[in-house]
A and B are shown apart, each in its own frame.
Chain A
Amino acid sequence: MPGLRRVEVNEVGDVTVVHFRDQKIIEDLGIQEMGQELFQLVEGENRKKLVLNFSSVDFLSSAALGKLITLDKKAKARGGSLKLCNIRPEIYEVFAITRLNRLFDICDDEADALAAF
């Protein structure tokens, strides 16, 4: 999918795999755009199975977490689901502190995430 500034989208079978273009997801505009691009996948293109691969992300803020939470709600409302993977330990700690590791299905790597659907 060309034209996306914040995420890169690939398809593996019926699963949509998303990689993030930003190493640090902190800037307001970037977070807004990332949210819009992810929401479009779920709402505009009706994709049901999403893998969010965080291999390129080394920092994110609570505002970025907010977008992921909203994405999860939107996906679930449409009968879809998300898997998160390749989250480095420092960022995983953030998910664990905020208990979002209970909300999200977090897998070690992309292969695990694809197999988890």
Chain B
Amino acid sequence: MSTSMPEKPWIWQSETVIPSRAAAARATLDQLIAELARNGWPRCEIFRVRLAVEEALVNAIKHGNRQDPSKRIQVGFCLFTDLVRIEIVDEGRGFDPATLPDCTDSEHLDEPCGRGVMLMRSLMSRVEFNVPGNRVTLEKERNKEPGLSPREDRGKG
């Protein structure tokens, strides 16, 4: 897996090639979630990783490989004590993430595009796309920051 960070000893890793099908992607993702749970990651952190990776896999299947059953997706997971790294490579032509609309802009709030990538960036510690954009690397550092409830959010202001 490509990385810009110094390597530390990993606890668990997995490299698989899956067909462009949601069921195969979820089965692979479930393995990662089980490893995070086994290693005591907090529930809210597991939720964030699951959602970000789910969005990345759906993008690879739908937008990357365009659900072409002849195309494959490489999925790599590497779990360290305090960090998890995920790499997803599809066989599509890629895309430029800078061209996605800002879905938090009130003008685009009700548009469907770009929300998945935005969630990935917000939920993970690092998200990097290669050029041309058919490979995404996601990293999540383990921390204990709590989630935000509606009541707490309203209390902020």
Contact = CB atoms under 8 A, between A and B. Distances in A.
Interface of A: 26-28, 59, 61-63, 65-66, 69-70, 72-73, 87, 89-90, 92-94, 96-103, 106-108
B110 A73 contact: yes
A59 B51 contact: yes
A89 B104 CA distance: 20
Contact of A103 (B55, B110, B147, B150): B110
Interface residues of B, number: 30
Interface of B: 22, 26, 43-44, 47-48, 50-51, 54-55, 58, 103-104, 106, 109-110, 112, 115-116, 118-119, 122-123, 146-151, 153
29 contacts: A27-B22, A28-B22, A59-B47, A61-B116, A62-B112, A62-B119, A63-B58, A69-B109, A69-B110, A89-B44, A89-B146, A89-B149, A90-B47, A90-B48, A92-B147, A92-B148, A92-B153, A93-B147, A94-B51, A96-B148, A97-B119, A97-B122, A98-B118, A98-B119, A99-B103, A99-B104, A101-B150, A103-B110, A108-B150
